[in-house]
Amino acid sequence: MTAHASALGLLATAPSPLWFLDRSAGEVTLVLMSVAMILGIVRSAVPTAYPVSVEGAHANIALLTLGFAGLHVLASVLDPFARLGPVDVFVPFVSAYRGTWLGLGVASGYLYGVSVIVSWPARRLPRPVWIWLHRTMYAAWVLAIMHSLGTGSDVQNQVFLLLNVSAVACVLAVFLAVRVAEGVRQLPLVWSAAGLVAILVVLALTAWAVNGPLQSGWARSSGTPPDLLRSP
């Protein structure tokens, strides 16, 4: 009876399955966003390389990213652990649960939505306008990385870190190897500066992660409500 009661106690205090769904859907969203970024960079820099297949994969994965992002938002609202409501997930920087880092995720979602909406179902804006609006995906991706590390409860998990580091490394490598290398031929100063900025952004993210989310005590300093700090 004692073992049975202990098992029931663990089940009662264990996180809801929605908590795991929320975290998993969020990480899948980040990975898919990174893949969409890579395909978009390749499509833009080398438009003659398999244009139909690359463009199709880029568009479909971008839409699939929105689907998992929606699942991530829905699970976070339905899960009772963090006590998030519609206002928390649609209005940035107002949540009592890690408000700054959750707010970055909300902002990322809006920026990413803009980059997809201006391209679907067809590009109807003048190309220069479309290009700059579509480039909001870069900002959305950076904010998504910060949201993932700042809000995520799995930030020190080896699999989580491997996925995030791989996503950042792959996007940076493709951007430098394809986008910058191709652009240097036409606007060497502009694209050299873009490559330098990309490297500095990744270095800044790394320094912040090492000295912030990867440090012990981040759950408290990130803005977790005190009563949730005692929860398993």
User: Which residues in the chain land under pLDDT 50?
Assistant: 1, 3-13
Supply the pLDDT for residue 214: 93
**Cα–Cα distance measured from residue 73 to residue 77, given in angstroms and rounded to the nearest whole number:** 6
Supply the pLDDT for residue 18: 92
Phi first, then psi: give them for residue 87, nearest 5 degrees: -65, -40
Supply the pLDDT for residue 5: 43
| Amino acid making up residue 86 | P
| DSSP class of 154 | T
Supply the pLDDT for residue 94: 95
Cis peptide before 121 (omega within 30 of 0): yes
| DSSP class of 96 | S
**Cα–Cα distance measured from residue 93 to residue 146, given in angstroms and rounded to the nearest whole number:** 14
- From the number of C-beta atoms within 10 Å of its C-beta (0-12, 13-18, 19+), residue 20 rates as middle
Q: Is the dihedral of CA 6, 8, 10, 13 positive or negative?
A: negative
Q: Is the dihedral of CA 123, 128, 132, 133 positive or negative?
A: negative
Supply the pLDDT for residue 176: 86
Q: Which of 66, 88, 69, 92 is nearest to 77 (CA)?
A: 88
| Full-model pTM | 0.88
Q: Around Cβ 154, how many Cβ atoms within 10 Å?
A: 18
Strands (E), the chain: none
Supply the pLDDT for residue 183: 64
| Amino acid making up residue 119 | S
